């Protein structure tokens, strides 16, 4: 049997056929195969889009059930925490130590009152930076005001915040919680949600997180 390049037949001469001819039946077959493949691919994408909420529902409890510990950030009256100014604090969460370092932006609002904002962007989870007047994500252009409320870009909700308490004069930081905007202010939601998961509207029902 004679070996031939792919697409070449025994009665053809090299370069004799042009597959750009719309009247050539081989071109029609080629287009049909392409359209079939494109349809299958589109169907696959739609299937993934439909499956995402289900995946989120299944995996949500695993994330929601993560162990969090109260982390001692030091004396609550420390000069490190300035009133009206954010100070980034790197800390190790839970039992994983250095393998699970987090960053929290801490702002003193009063003697024992603080605003503690997560540095995780609510678009795809990239780290945000504080730029004096706002939080900004360098990855995809997400923008938040000084309260963590989204002002521009692809994020669909405000930045997460951390629970905190002052005990024996020390500031302790706990687990993060999702937030939403109400009348221009940030309020806590009942659930922790991962980046990209809405906290309001119809989509919040499609992406449940216990």
Q: What is the pLDDT of residues 116-164, one digit of tens each?
A: 999 999 888 889 999 888 999 988 889 999 999 999 999 888 999 999 9
Question: CA nearest 97: which of 134, 130, 67?
Answer: 67
- For domain 71-197, the question of CATH label 2.102.10.10 is answered with yes
Whether 76 shows a pLDDT value over 60: the answer reads yes
The tens digit of pLDDT for each residue in 38-49 reads 565 555 555 544
Task: Domain ranges for the chain, please list them.
Answer: 18-65, 71-197
* Beta bridge mates, 108: 83, 114
Structure tokens at 40: 């299958």
pTM, 2 dp: 0.60
């Amino acid at each position: 049997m004679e070996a031939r390049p792919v697409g070449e037949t025994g009665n053809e001469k090299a370069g004799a056929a042009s597959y750009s001819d719309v009247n050539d039946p081989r071109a029609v077959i080629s287009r049909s195969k392409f359209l079939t493949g494109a349809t299958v691919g589109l169907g696959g994408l739609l299937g993934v889009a439909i499956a995402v909420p289900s995946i989120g529902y299944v995996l949500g409890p695993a994330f929601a059930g993560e162990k969090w510990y109260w982390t001692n950030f030091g004396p609550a009256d420390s000069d490190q925490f300035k009133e009206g100014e954010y100070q980034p604090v790197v800390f190790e969460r839970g039992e994983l130590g250095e393998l699970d370092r987090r960053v929290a932006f801490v702002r003193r609002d009063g003697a024992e009152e603080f605003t503690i904002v997560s540095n995780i962007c609510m678009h795809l989870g990239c780290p945000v930076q504080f730029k004096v007047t706002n939080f900004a994500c360098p990855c995809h252009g997400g923008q938040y005001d000084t309260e963590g409320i989204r002002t521009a870009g692809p994020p669909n909700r405000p930045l997460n915040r951390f629970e905190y308490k002052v005990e024996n004069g020390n500031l302790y930081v706990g687990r993060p919680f999702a937030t939403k905007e109400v009348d221009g202010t940030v309020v806590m939601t009942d659930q922790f949600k991962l980046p990209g998961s809405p906290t309001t509207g119809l989509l919040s029902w499609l992406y449940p997180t216990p």
